Structure 1
Amino acid sequence: MKRSNIIFAGFMLFSLFFGAGNLIFPPLLGMEAGDGFGPAIIGFLITGVLLPIMAIVAVALSEDGLVSMGQRVHPVFGVAFAVIIYMSIGAFYGIPRASSVAYELGFKQIFNVESSLVLAIFSIVFFGITYLISLNPKKIVDRIGQYLTPLLLLVLSVLVVRAFFTFENPGAPAAEKYTGSPLVTGILEGYFTMDAVAALAFGIVIINALKDKGAETKGELVKGTFGAVLIAGLGLVAVYFSLGWIGRVIPGGSGLEDGAEILTHSANLLFPAAGGLLFGIIVLLACLTTCVGLISACSRFFNEIYPNIAYSTYAGIFVLIGLLVSNLGLDLILELALPLLVFIYPIAIVLIVLSLVERVTGESRKMYQAAVFVTAVYALYEVLISIGIESETVSLLLGQTPFFEQGLGWMVPAFIAGAAGYGIDRYKGRAANGKKRKPAVQFNDDIK
């Protein structure tokens, strides 16, 4: 397999992760962390970069990707959870969110117009372009990795390089939430990007892209995936650090409330005549590449599950869903999607970690079942809290675990439950080191 194909696949993976949400998180962290910027950005990179990379690797090492990861809990759970992941992070959230953010933070920055008719026209044009780029999945690496990603990086570099030579570090105290432990707060901020869920969806894109570029064996596929995630990871580290640093040193940032305002203000300071245009182009490119990746991921997944419907038909369906949902408005999309994402994200992280741990410990079904069950209990209660339903008794009971107040109360109980499940299987002789399970679902490798 050519090294250039791995490089372009890495560029593509970088662009798939680097959506508008990822664009605006680091600057706000930089501004709020103040003198604690160093440990805060390190924490952010742990969960905002390392965790998604672990997810891609876990998908690549699994026999049939995300489905087989879930089938270690139960065959039905494997398929059902994968469908939920692709429909939630893709069709009903990620895809319409990308379009809405592109309109709110990109298009309106350039043209300064707003109406329901303009939003509808923009959505049609945006999804029309997305559909055309997504139509041939074998060309995704070429179109994103060779063209869109370099263009995005070029425009970002103009902003970042100018900021490095213009802004000075004034030194500022940290916001209250960063005063205690900026590293832990940074970890939580990276966690809340929920990129690990997106990584599970993007896994199929990078794997099939490498297959299309000549990866014929499992070894070549794994090697290509490691190369691509290394390139994407280094790119994300560099960009996140740079954007966070801009938030850290931007002058006159005390009245700014979010990352979008910070970057817009910095663009206007650095390029008074074209700041809005520059920021708008960055947002549009970031949202376009993410949307293309999500549509391709969802379409390829469902084409493999049910190949009687052509890939192009699935792409059209997801484009149509995205077009309709995006016109509901960004605030409503986020409000409707939050409870579902709060539920699936902890379970997804547990599956990722266990899939990698299993490479060392060997297979153990009870390890998966116990860890996922306990995690689901905590995640379900977090969903109830997110919609305003909270029990003082249940909170008192579950709240005894570490990090419960931060929404991470599931971590320690999941670890204990997983260890107990593994111990039970070992005791009964069911944990098999090095033994590979036959996948319950066979996928079709060809795009119809």
Structure 2
Amino acid sequence: MIHKKLSLSSYVFVGSMLFGLFFGAGNLIFPVHMGQEAGNNIIPTILGFLLTGVGLPFLGVLAIGISGSSSLYDLSSRIHPYYAVFLTVALNLTIGPIFALPRTGSVSYEIGLAPYIAPQNQTLSLFIFTLLFFLIALIFSLKPNKILLWVGKVLNPLFLLFLAILIIIAFYQPMGGGIIPPAHDAFKTAPFFHGFTEGYNTMDALASLVFGVIVIDTLRGLGLNQPSDIAVGTIKAGIVTLILMSIIYACLAYIGVFSVNQFTVSSNGGIALAQIADYYLGMIGDVLLAIIVTLACLKTAIGLITACSDIFHKMFPSSLSYKNYVFVFTIISFIISNVGLTQIINLAVPVLMFLYPLSITLILLALLSPLFGNQQIVYVTTTIFTIFAALGDACNNLPLLIKNTEFIQSILNIYNSLLPFFNIGMGWILPAVIGFIIGCIFCLKSNFNTFNQH
């Protein structure tokens, strides 16, 4: 058995590619807005955010690499093949053409171009900008074998260079002399848990179950063939991503905190970033931020289109070719991106509150599977209990018009009376633990009966 070793630079490039795929639209805007609201509770808020925004994506990539799974479908099939189809389709549509992909186009426009366009021309300008944006993403996505070169070696280093300039200037001259204002609204209480659920908005834990496959394919392309080598390579590349994302998230959050000394809390982080760049660098800052955001969003768009198209083509080989999926997903994303950034964010929240607990438990089960012999019953019981709680979290984050109906309110009253931490979006934790324990008890009982028979 021959074990090939890659150079440090190869792992750095693969890690840079993974970071580039992860760090897109939401990764720039959500930490800034979170910082504005967190104020003097910024440290516990950041810790919670890093857990879901960095830790879980890292574990998600590891879960794919270490478990030896070829895809999210392969991994979730440990629960049931039908469930695997549901989760794979739902997750890929969410991080793909329904929410995350359209957001890459709308964020680029909102920050880079919208401030300079007259209100009456916004609709047409958004249409033209997103048309060009998704056309470029389409061209790159048609050649997926070039993804390491374009994202890891070209787009991501450029993005990091431009972003570093803005961060260094903002920390050298913090607004308000670096005074940290008080926390706003929900962040006055339970800031850690609010930071934890804010991390859902990045969608990176969901994306990790998709991007993990790209990392494995890239490592294989570089010559790693043994499962143990691929697992180690995934960890090394993931560490590069983990370090980069943690540093940048913390910096962006603190810039958001200081910005409240100069501006009111914005309706979304895109507006806040535009104000911050303009404050420090004027027109140069506006151009710099436009470049930063467009590069960040473009590289993520390329990764998402590539990954989702590949997965759907492999799952449904008799439907469309890879290239046709690329065209379909790009067109859908272009259409939805013209709805507007704030609307996309609001509509995504209930879906994320449902999918995140299911993804988190799947990641943890994959990593813990050696402890329970990878037995299906543990996956099944944990998932069933988690689904029950996740449905409540989704209902609790529906648009107010729906949430305030008598039917939904009666459902929420039941959840509030049954589940601890439900009011802060963490009601799924206890049911998941109970489901896991029940599954382990079934395992022990089955093993005991088998032992007695022998």
Of 37, 61, 78 in structure 2, the residue corresponding to residue 56 of structure 1 is 61
Of 91, 98, 103 in structure 1, the residue corresponding to residue 104 of structure 2 is 98
Of 350, 356, 360 in structure 2, the residue corresponding to residue 345 of structure 1 is 356
1:353-389 alpha-carbon deviations (Å, 9 max, x no partner): 1111113332121211111111112222333341424
Other structure's SS at 2:178 match: coil
Distance (Å, rounded) in 2 between the aligned partners of 1:157 and 1:110: 24
Other structure's SS at 1:343 match: helix
Relative distance call for 1:194 and 1:319 in structure 2 (3 A) is closer
Contact 2:110 2:270 in 1 (8 A): no
Contact 2:100 2:203 in 1 (8 A): no
Relative distance call for 1:192 and 1:133 in structure 2 (3 A) is closer
- Report the aligned-residue RMSD: 2.4
Is 1:143 the equivalent of 2:150?
yes
The Cα shift of 1:22 comes to 1.4
Contact 1:399 1:409 in 2 (8 A): no
Which structure shows the higher helix fraction? 2
% of aligned pairs identical?
35
Contact 1:253 1:262 in 2 (8 A): no
Contact 1:17 1:195 in 2 (8 A): yes
Contact 2:393 2:427 in 1 (8 A): no
1:309-329 alpha-carbon deviations (Å, 9 max, x no partner): 443232222212222322333
Other structure's SS at 2:279 match: helix
Of 216, 236, 244 in structure 1, the residue corresponding to residue 225 of structure 2 is 216
Of 124, 131, 148 in structure 1, the residue corresponding to residue 138 of structure 2 is 131
Is 1:3 the equivalent of 2:8?
yes
Relative distance call for 1:109 and 1:430 in structure 2 (3 A) is farther
Distance (Å, rounded) in 2 between the aligned partners of 1:202 and 1:159: 28
Could you tell me the TM-score, scaled by structure 1's length?
0.89
Distance (Å, rounded) in 2 between the aligned partners of 1:122 and 1:200: 30
Contact 1:366 1:418 in 2 (8 A): no
1:251-287 alpha-carbon deviations (Å, 9 max, x no partner): 7335232423332222122102322222222211111
Counterpart residue type for residue 48 of structure 1: G
Distance (Å, rounded) in 1 between the aligned partners of 2:269 and 2:317: 42
Give the alignment of 1:72-221 within 5 angstroms.
72-109=78-115, 114-167=121-174, 168-221=177-230
Relative distance call for 1:384 and 1:66 in structure 2 (3 A) is same
Counterpart residue type for residue 389 of structure 2: Y
Of 321, 333, 337 in structure 1, the residue corresponding to residue 332 of structure 2 is 321
Relative distance call for 1:401 and 1:8 in structure 2 (3 A) is same
Distance (Å, rounded) in 2 between the aligned partners of 1:29 and 1:111: 27
Other structure's SS at 1:429 match: helix
Contact 1:95 1:322 in 2 (8 A): yes
Could you tell me the TM-score, scaled by structure 2's length?
0.88
Distance (Å, rounded) in 2 between the aligned partners of 1:306 and 1:333: 28
The Cα shift of 1:249 comes to 2.6
Is 1:70 the equivalent of 2:70?
no
Contact 2:358 2:383 in 1 (8 A): yes
Is 1:39 the equivalent of 2:44?
yes
Relative distance call for 1:118 and 1:191 in structure 2 (3 A) is closer
Distance (Å, rounded) in 2 between the aligned partners of 1:148 and 1:135: 17
1:103-128 alpha-carbon deviations (Å, 9 max, x no partner): 22223246667343332222221111
Relative distance call for 1:234 and 1:430 in structure 2 (3 A) is farther
Distance (Å, rounded) in 2 between the aligned partners of 1:166 and 1:430: 66
Partner residue, 1:250: 259
Other structure's SS at 2:65 match: helix
Distance (Å, rounded) in 1 between the aligned partners of 2:390 and 2:441: 24
Counterpart residue type for residue 7 of structure 1: V
Contact 1:204 1:300 in 2 (8 A): no
Distance (Å, rounded) in 1 between the aligned partners of 2:366 and 2:188: 35
Q: Which moved more, 1:295-304 or 1:393-402?
A: 393-402
Partner residue, 1:441: none
Counterpart residue type for residue 72 of structure 2: L
The unaligned stretches of length 5 or more in structure 2 are 1-5
The Cα shift of 1:180 comes to 3.5
Contact 1:155 1:282 in 2 (8 A): yes
Relative distance call for 1:328 and 1:30 in structure 2 (3 A) is closer
Q: Which moved more, 1:244-253 or 1:353-362?
A: 244-253
Contact 1:362 1:431 in 2 (8 A): no
Q: Which moved more, 1:188-197 or 1:93-102?
A: 188-197
Contact 2:200 2:356 in 1 (8 A): no
- Tell me how many residue pairs correspond in the alignment: 432
Q: Which moved more, 1:238-247 or 1:145-154?
A: 238-247
The unaligned stretches of length 5 or more in structure 1 are 433-448
